[in-house]
Amino acid sequence: MKIPQKWALRIATLFIFTLAFVVILLLEGMPWFSELDRTTMDHLYKVRERQEPVGDVVVIAIDENSMQELGPWPWPRDYHGELLARLKEYGARAAVFDVVFDVPKETDAVFAQGIQLMEKVVIGRDTSTSASTAGSLETVIEPAQALTDAGAIPAFVNMLQDTDTKIRRAFVRFKGQTTLDLEALNLMTGERVREEDGRFFLGDTEIPVRGTAENASFLINFTGPTGVIPKRSYYQVLDRTIPPDFLKDKVVYIGYDLIALNTAQGAQTDRFPTPVDENLLMPGVEIHANAYHTLRTHAFIREAPISVNWMMLIGFGILATIYSTTFRPVPGAWATLATVFAMLVVLYAAFAYFRYVLPSTRPIAFLVLVYIGNTIVRYRTVLRERAQIQKAFKHYVSAEVLGELMKNPEELQLGGQELVASVLFTDIAGFSKISEKITPRELTQMLNDYFERLGSIIMKEKGMVNKFIGDAVMAIWGAPLPNPNHAVDACRAALQMHRAMASMDPIKCRIGINSGSMVAGNLGSRERFEYTVIGDSVNLASRLEGVNKPYHTDIMISEMTEELVRDHFLLREVDSIRVVGKQKPVKIYQLLDTIEGKDSPEHGRWADMVQSFYGGLEAYKHQDWEGAALLFEKHVERFPEDPVGGIYLGRCHAFAAAPPAEDWDGVIQMETK
């Protein structure tokens, strides 16, 4: 069983939605796909306004300038003891070393004295991984015991690098233990992270974390690129060449800020790519200072939960479906682009003003996939529709009408559309007698010539040759494309057909035209159907063609058509009739000529004939049989070529001898079709 096109499109839409969904799920496993989300968030960091530091964190850099002043690294540790003494002198509240002092040194005693003097000191601990045949072994690198005995708090300095090597997150817990930045926060504010059912809190604020309880991390809310957090060189503290209030009441982060790697002396550059620096690498000590700043201000960046991801995914898929099934491709594409742009604006606003990260790559990718998929299906459907339209109509409508149908296939509403149009029927008068007198070959040639002439005229006048039925032709104006002048064009074509037959003796065609409401659409079986119109208006047009025979006329139109064309043509009211199968009477009119031909002698005679005929018709309508008979006698004498006058003359004589009933309405009942 063949599925109707409407349901086939719906099934295809559902299939594309599902397929795009599966593709998105498969892309989740692709590293580059997740990288797109991170890249989007990185861009948000760059375009938002720079975050002003709260003012209680500074960085003291172990940099090239300091090495020029103090010598190559590693420095004697009494330098660090002296540094801590200077920090105490300048009023710093805490010192945090992003350095691991693991190997004991002779100068540790001076360093330890500085730690005791400063009181609030955090020093780094790290991990080391070694490989062997048995596998990899990870060990913890602890600071020298003399330093921790002096009161320095050991904390992990480890950083979390994404697959693209960028650092975006900092640890709340690492291997279940505290980190450098959390210890710094505790020394400055007394706050400690508490854990409840796998969730982490600072006071009443929940920290949005990823990972396990042993290794939980949060997004760093970077204040900006390298250098936003105030920074000075290590040697400047020792030389007392910094502003007096630079260190007062601050937590001081101390760590490497080296451009080049000095492998001979063992110092590492300790610089990493971050989302806020386009080309520069940020020193690890500044990354830690930004992590502390995030904790200190509780300005956590929150990521949308999985439920929001699914809701946006489904929502964008529905939007794409609406765009691709409701709009044409170009407006639909603009709507899709507008939605992507709006999404980016919302994405920026959520991040910049609410520190909220919405999913972007998946919904946008889903939107685009669903839109492209549906558009391709619709495009292929349109191509098939156009091929069907071209196949069905190329021999029946003009090139202009066919072009409009091809450009706007939706104008052709298959399956039934109620509309107002005009229908024309023709057949050949005395066809049976003509066919008896000539050979089949001659008959075929004559009919082909006849149909060719009529078909050309119909298409030239914007009509559609709907079908050939034996020697008859059915044509439509106003379908399949709307035509506000359908009645005028149909009448114009009828006059041209009548003139064209003058050179095809002995062929003489009779034409009937009616205008009104009808249903247009495809009729037939699933395997074979044709586009046509049906309804009472169509049946009446067919009857009017047959009415020409008893009245000996050529072109008969209904009162509905006459109302639409009376200002364009010379017409004559012929009669009021009741056709076979209908109870409602209809006035019929003879179509004689166009208004444009009024200057021709032929048009003038027709106009005189109509004027003469109407005198008798008025007397006839008033049942003045004798007066009407006199007028029709004069009319027939003057216009012997008008058979209608003779018909009325005969009626007048008959009614004078045997008057009709008193309730006679003047309507003539047609006995044949």
CB contact at 8 A, 638 and 670: no
The answer to whether the predicted template modeling score (pTM) of the entire model surpasses 0.95 is no
Rounded-to-integer distance, Cα 392 and Cα 374, Å: 26
Residue 485 falls in which region: left (phi positive, over 0), alpha (psi -120 to 50) or beta: alpha
**Cα 458 to Cα 486: distance, rounded to the nearest angstrom:** 12
**Hey, is 277 helix, strand or coil?**
coil
Cβ(515)–Cβ(486) below 8 Å = yes
**Which amino acid is located at 277 in the chain?**
D
pLDDT tens for each residue of 51-60: 778 789 999 9
CB burial of residue 176 (10 Å; 0-12, 13-18, 19+): exposed
CA–CA gap between residue 29 and residue 44 (Å, rounded): 24
Whole-number Å distance between alpha carbons of 591 and 604: 15
- The DSSP secondary-structure symbol of 596 reads G
Separation CA 622–CA 612 (nearest Å): 17
Sheet holding 205-207, edge to edge: 194-196, 199-202, 205-207
First to last CA, the chain: 40
Kindly list the distances between the CA atom of residue 481 and the CA atoms of 458, 464, 520, in Å, as whole numbers in the listed order.
Answer: 14, 10, 11
356-357 vs 302-303, strand pairing mode? parallel
According to CATH, the topology of domain 413-565 is Alpha-Beta Plaits (3.30.70)
The DSSP 8-state label assigned to residue 51 in this structure reads P
**Euclidean distance between CA atoms 489 and 385, whole angstroms:** 27
User: At 637, which amino acid appears?
Assistant: E
Pairing between β-strand 509-524 and β-strand 555-558 as defined by DSSP bridges: parallel
Please choose, from the candidates 546, 406, 543, 399, the residue with its C-alpha nearest in 3D space to the C-alpha of residue 464: 399
DSSP of 450-504:
HHHHHHHHHHHTT-EEEEEETTEEEEEESSSS--TTHHHHHHHHHHHHHHHGGGS
- Cβ of 663: how many Cβ atoms within 10 Å? 5
281 touches 89 (CB < 8 A):
no
| DSSP per-residue letters across 137-164 | EEEEEPPPHHHHHTTPEEEE---EE-TT
The answer to whether 191 touches 297, Cβ cutoff 8 Å, is no
**The pLDDT value given to residue 189:** 92
| CA 405, chain centre distance (Å) | 24
Question: What pLDDT, on a 0 to 100 scale, did the predictor assign at position 135?
Answer: 62
Closest by CA to 28, choosing from 316, 300, 309, is 309
Within a 13 Å sphere around the CA of 547, how many CA atoms are in the beta-carbon half?
Answer: 29
Whether the link from the prior residue into 480 is cis, omega within 30° of 0, is yes
Say if residues 477 and 489 touch (Cβ distance below 8 Å).
yes
Instruction: Provide the 3-class DSSP secondary structure of residue 582.
Output: coil
* Amino acid, single-letter form, for residue 260: A
Q: How far apart are CA 485 and CA 488, in angstroms?
A: 5
Distance CA 80, CA 567 (A): 108
Question: Rounded CA gap, 116 and 149, in Å?
Answer: 10
Residue with tokens 């004498």: 637
Which DSSP state fits 298? T
pLDDT along the chain (673 residues), means of 10: 61 80 77 78 83 87 93 92 95 95 91 94 88 70 93 94 90 92 94 89 92 91 90 94 91 88 49 85 94 94 86 85 81 87 89 87 84 80 64 54 57 68 92 81 86 89 86 89 93 93 83 94 64 89 93 95 95 92 89 86 90 94 93 94 94 92 86 70
What pLDDT sits at residue 4?
57
Distance CA 44, CA 58 (A): 25
DSSP states of 321-383 as a string? HHHHHHS-HHHHHHHHHHHHHHHHHHHHHHHHHH-EE---HHHHHHHHHHHHHHHHHHHHHHH
**Which pLDDT value is given to residue 254?**
96
| Distance from C-alpha of 161 to C-alpha of 171, rounded to nearest angstrom | 11
Residue carrying the six token digits 């009162």: 559
Domain assignments of the chain as residue spans, ordered by start: 5-46+304-385, 52-298, 413-565, 596-673
pLDDT at 268: 52
Burial 41-57, CB ≥16 within 10 A → b, else e: bbbbbeebeebebeebb
Distance CA 463, CA 511 (A): 15
Q: What does the chain come to in residues?
A: 673
What is the identity of the amino acid at 402? Answer: L
Task: Report pLDDT for 6.
Answer: 65
| 312, two tokens | 């946006």
The structure tokens listed for 52 are: 């002003």
For residue 181, the SS3 value is helix
Q: Where are the alpha helices (DSSP H) in 53-151?
A: 64-70, 78-90, 108-118, 145-149
Between CA 226 and CA 550 the distance in angstroms is: 102
Amino acid 579: pLDDT? 86
Distance, in Å, from the CA atom of 476 to the CA atom of 454, rounded to the nearest integer, reads 13
Q: Which candidate, 254, 319, 221, places its Cα nearest to that of 101?
A: 254
CA angle 160, 161, 166 (to 5 degrees): 130
User: Distances from the Cα of 653 to the Cαs of 45, 623, 650, in angstroms?
Assistant: 104, 12, 5
Closest CA to 636 of 628, 548, 168: 628
**Which alpha helices (DSSP H) does 399-439 contain, by range?**
399-407, 431-437
Half-sphere exposure (CA, 13 Å, Cβ side) for 193? 29
The whole-number pLDDT of residue 322 equals 85
